[in-house]
């Protein structure tokens, strides 16, 4: 939660359309994230919607419009994100993580803005395409 809070509060655009959290622990854990974000009076002004996509559904295309931030517990290549969301991220950051990360530890943050390319070009995020 602290990393999510830092990211949302430092964003120049304080009204992202969606915040995506792609953890696949269980449905209740995902609901806890959604509730924690929504109940935090400071943070709930920084986003409009929290969408949770389980890892088991990452093989399906998710057409998410507008600007959003993807918080994940794993690293994704630009091409993989393009497969999942139909466009690559505009930027990405890796957070420091422990030698053996916990299943719900935030590792990477990907931002999708109006500058994200929607076809062909995979963009540049600093992560190798693999």
| 130 is a domain residue | no
pLDDT at position 79: 93
28-37 tens-digit pLDDT: 666 677 788 7
Q: Which of 12-21, 53-62, 111-120 has the lowest mean pLDDT?
A: 12-21
At 48-84, the pLDDT tens digits run 788 888 778 888 898 888 888 888 888 899 999 999 9
Give CB contacts under 8 A, 24+ apart, made by 45-50.
Answer: 45/14, 46/8, 46/9, 46/11, 46/14, 46/15, 46/16, 47/8, 47/15, 47/16, 47/17, 47/18, 47/19, 48/15, 48/16, 48/17, 48/18, 49/17, 49/18, 49/19, 50/18, 50/19, 50/21
Question: Is residue 125 one of the residues assigned to a domain?
Answer: no
Higher pLDDT, 50 or 115: 50
The verdict on residue 123 lying in a domain is no
Domain membership of residue 75 as a residue range: 2-112
Mean pLDDT of the chain: 75
Predicted TM-score of the model (pTM): 0.76
> What's the chain's Rg over C-alpha atoms?
14
CB atoms within 10 A of CB 91: 16
Total domains in the chain come to 1
Give the model's pLDDT for residue 101.
Answer: 63
Assigned domain for 99 exists = yes
């Amino acid at each position: 939660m602290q990393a999510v809070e830092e990211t949302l509060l430092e964003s120049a655009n304080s009204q992202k359309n969606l915040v995506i959290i792609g953890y696949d622990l269980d449905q209740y854990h995902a609901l806890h994230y959604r509730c924690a974000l929504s109940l935090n009076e400071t943070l709930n002004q920084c986003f409009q919607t929290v969408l949770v996509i389980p890892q088991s559904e990452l093989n399906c295309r998710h057409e998410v419009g507008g600007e959003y931030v993807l918080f994940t517990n794993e690293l994704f290549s630009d091409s993989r994100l393009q497969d999942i969301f139909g466009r690559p991220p505009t930027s990405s950051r890796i957070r420091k993580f422990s030698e053996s990360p916990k299943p719900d530890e935030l590792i990477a943050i990907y931002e999708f803005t109006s500058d994200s390319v929607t076809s062909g070009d995979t963009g540049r995020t600093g992560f190798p395409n693999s």
